[in-house]
Amino acid sequence: MITRIILFLIGFVFMIIGFSYFIVYINLLSFGYNIIEYLNYCFTRYECWLLIIGLFIISIIILRKGGKHAKCL
């Protein structure tokens, strides 16, 4: 149970970091980048991949079955 909480928090922090970099890099649009160049730039930066990694960690933690004491609904 404690490992699920810790992994959830790690995934949440990764998502916050990744999403904040996506927001920061939106300023590239004001410098003349179009949306395709913006997305291409974001997906080549490792900071933005933290958003996807965090979402993956959280989805695995939420969808994974619990231990022997978990109740099925």
At 66, give phi and psi (nearest 5°).
-80, -175
The secondary structure of residue 33, as a DSSP letter, is -
Q: What pLDDT is recorded for position 6? A: 93
Summarised one tens digit per residue, pLDDT across range 6-65 is 999 999 999 999 999 989 989 888 888 899 998 898 889 888 899 999 999 999 998 887
Dist. CA 68–CA 70, nearest whole Å: 6
